[in-house]
Structures are given as C-alpha cells and as structure tokens.
C-alpha cells in the first residue's frame, strides 16, 4: 500500500487503550499499520511485536531490536506515542517523516533532571512533527524545545458518541469516579468529601471504579470514615463497558490534584453519555469543561468545596440534565473520535506529500 505504511511505537495495553484505538482507527482509514511495543498485548487485526522487558533500562536494551523491526517493515512514516522510551526508538530509526506524540508525563514528570530533559529535547528536536492532546501539553513541549511551535499540532484524543442517550436513572443520586487509585487523582480527597456529604445527604452514593496502589488504603479509609454504606468499590471497568457504567450514574467526579492530568478523556466520556462532571481546575482539564455549563471546575485539593458541589448537584436534578445535554453537544462539536482521526491523517498526508 504505497504511501500508507505506518509504524507505531507505543504501549499496547487493554488497560490504557490509546494505542489500540489509534492503530485500529488508522487501519479503518486504509493504512497498513505495524505496532512495536515493550510488553503489552497483541492488537487483534494489527501486526504487533511485543518486545520483552529486560530490567530498568529495557528501552535502551531493546532499541536495536525495535529499530530492526521498523526497518523490516519499511514504513513510509514512523509515529512514536510518548517522547521518552518510544520516542527514543523513533529517533534511532533515522526514518523520516517521524511524528512524536506527547501525552503528559513524558513532558511534565519525566524531564525533572538535566539528562532526562536533554533526552526528551533531543527526541523532540529530531522529530519531523509533534502532536499534543491539549494546549497545556503544547506549552510544556515549547518549554523544553523553544521555537518549535510551527511543528506542533494539537490533536485531542476524541471519543465515540454512543448510539443511544440513556436518561438519568430514577434511583437515589449516584456519582462515579473512574481513575487509577493513585494520589495524583485525589481519591482520598473524594472520600473525605463523602464523609461530609453523608451528614447532609445520606442518600447520595459513590461508585469508585478502578484499581491501583491505594486500593486497600482507600478501603480502610472508607471504613475509618464510616462511609462504607455510601461508597462502592467496583474495581476495574473494561473500556467496552465504560459508557454503560457512566450512564448508570447521575454525574462524574474527578478531583485530580496533579498537573499531569494533561487532558481529561474521562470528562469527554461523561459528556458523550450526557452526564455532568465535577472536576479540578488543573492541568489540561479546563480545556474540556465549560465551567457552569457542562460541569464545575473546583480548586484542586479542596475537600470542603468538593463536598459543597456534590451536595449542590445532588439537590438539582434539572440542572444536572441541562449540563448533561450541554456536555453531549460540546463533545459532539469538538471532540469526536472521527475528528481526531481526520486531524491525524491530514497531518500524515501533508508530511508524506512534503517528503515526496
């Protein structure tokens, strides 16, 4: 397939489905796609090479194997998802054009010491083009590589719209949290807020989806706060069940406290389901929430404000319905998956044309 052979470097995982969706979406658009990953899961219908991990320096130890896989495929374009290890693989292929997508931690958390920053800067400088999922990540990339604005394109990670919009349930008010159980996503702050909510609105329930390093700690915390009767730890929700899970609730809560919350796909998924969101004004999240219209933006880490907002939402079902409708229209107009694919394939076509 002349001009349409794309080699993707990235993490192939059913837990974080970003690469799965890009690979399948490109194939649906007529591209011949090969994925080279470090560990992970084969992508059905896509040639996938999962190189084994070899200790802490696996990306460096497997770079030769990754480069060999790329050259064996003879791609027209190489696209690395993440500017760190996978970006380094793309850098070492010496194949042009090369696209590097920054996702968050690679340009926010990783470049904290000079040698890591130097590595990311070298990868970004060598790339033919850079994509970022949010304006925040574009700014972070410019901090590392000043003057590169002309080769950075913001391409959000859009979502599909469900075939049918389910109305809000008639059951007592339920909200959902859908994040890894990690400090940066603020699950502990949410539980502390729930302890306050229970005193005023004991009928309000919380579904804590996800797993992670804090899972047992959070369960113990719920017991200590005496909120086990209003909090349900439901575990990991597969991506193909996500919309059904969100639709079972009245709104979503996302109290993140870290700037590495660089975009907010979960916010868009809530909007696609016609559900409002309560979330922190942090990172790239304000780009996907119209404050007061599709949800509320709150000060990060403020459990009192969060409790007040939950109580306010719980007492205003009509407002929730209105915000849900507005959220759906906002996603439909700005953040559909088809639009994201259009932007990416338009970029590919332009780079390949310039190459010729």
Same domain as 323, residue 178: yes
Number of domains making up the chain: 2
Measured CA to CA in angstroms, residue 331 lies from 71, 159, 164, 179, 289 at distances of 39, 8, 15, 20, 10
Same domain as 219, residue 109: no
Indicate whether 220 belongs to any domain. Answer: yes
Same domain as 303, residue 180: yes
**What is the per-residue pLDDT across 19-76, written as a single tens digit (0 to 9) for each?**
999 999 999 999 999 999 998 889 999 999 999 988 888 999 999 999 999 999 999 9
Q: What is the CATH number of the domain that holds 312?
A: 3.40.50.2000
Indicate whether 168 belongs to any domain. Answer: no
* Helix locations, the chain, DSSP H: 18-28, 58-61, 63-73, 85-93, 105-108, 114-126, 135-144, 187-200, 215-224, 242-247, 265-272, 303-314, 317-334, 337-355
Indicate whether 140 belongs to any domain. Answer: yes
Specify the pLDDT at position 15: 65
Same domain as 296, residue 193: yes
Same domain as 342, residue 283: no
Q: What is the DSSP letter of 184?
A: G
Same domain as 326, residue 194: yes
Same domain as 278, residue 261: yes
Indicate whether 200 belongs to any domain. Answer: yes
Indicate whether 163 belongs to any domain. Answer: no
Averages of pLDDT over each 10 residues, the chain, 356 residues:
84 82 95 94 93 89 97 97 96 97 92 94 97 95 96 96 90 94 96 97 96 95 97 93 96 93 91 97 94 97 97 95 97 96 97 89
Same domain as 300, residue 181: yes
Indicate whether 286 belongs to any domain. Answer: yes
What whole-number distance in Å separates Cα of residue 69 and Cα of residue 59?
A: 14
Domain that holds residue 296: 174-334
Indicate whether 47 belongs to any domain. Answer: yes
Same domain as 65, residue 49: yes
**What is the per-residue pLDDT across 87-115, written as a single tens digit (0 to 9) for each?**
999 999 999 999 999 999 899 999 999 99
Same domain as 263, residue 117: no
Specify the pLDDT at position 1: 46
Same domain as 184, residue 118: no
Phi, psi of 116 (to 5 degrees): -70, -40
Same domain as 274, residue 345: no
């Amino acid at each position: 397939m002349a001009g349409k052979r794309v080699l993707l470097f990235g993490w192939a995982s059913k837990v974080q489905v970003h690469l799965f969706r890009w690979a399948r979406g490109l194939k649906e658009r007529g591209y011949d796609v090969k994925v080279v990953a470090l560990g992970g899961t084969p992508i059905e219908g896509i040639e996938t090479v999962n190189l084994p991990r070899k200790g802490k320096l696996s990306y460096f130890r497997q770079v030769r194997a990754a480069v060999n896989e790329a050259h064996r495929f003879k791609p027209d374009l190489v696209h690395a998802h993440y500017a760190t290890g996978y970006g380094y693989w793309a850098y070492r292929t010496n194949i042009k054009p090369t696209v590097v997508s920054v996702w968050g931690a690679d340009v926010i958390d990783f470049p904290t010491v000079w040698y890591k920053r130097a590595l990311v800067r070298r990868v970004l400088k060598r790339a033919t083009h850079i994509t970022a999922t949010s304006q925040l990540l574009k700014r972070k990339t410019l901090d590392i590589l000043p003057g590169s604005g002309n080769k950075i394109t913001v391409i959000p990670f859009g979502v599909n719209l469900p075939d049918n919009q389910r109305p809000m349930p008639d059951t007592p008010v339920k909200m959902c949290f859908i994040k890894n159980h990690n400090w940066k996503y603020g699950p502990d702050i949410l539980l502390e807020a729930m302890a306050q909510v229970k005193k005023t609105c004991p009928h309000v329930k919380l579904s804590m989806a996800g797993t992670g390093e804090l899972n047992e700690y959070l369960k113990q915390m719920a017991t200590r706060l005496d909120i086990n009767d209003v909090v349900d730890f439901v575990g990991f929700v597969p991506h193909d069940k996500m919309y059904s899970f969100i639709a079972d609730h009245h709104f979503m809560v996302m109290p993140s406290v870290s700037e590495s919350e660089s975009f907010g796909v979960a916010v868009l998924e809530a909007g696609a389901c016609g559900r409002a969101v309560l979330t922190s004004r942090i990172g790239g999240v304000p780009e996907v929430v119209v404050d007061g219209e599709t949800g509320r933006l709150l000060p990060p880490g403020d459990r009192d404000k969060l409790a007040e907002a939950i109580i306010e939402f719980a007492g205003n079902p009509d407002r929730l319905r209105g915000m849900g409708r507005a959220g759906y229209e906002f996603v439909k107009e700005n953040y559909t998956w088809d639009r994201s694919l259009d932007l990416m394939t338009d970029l590919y076509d332009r780079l390949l044309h310039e190459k010729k």
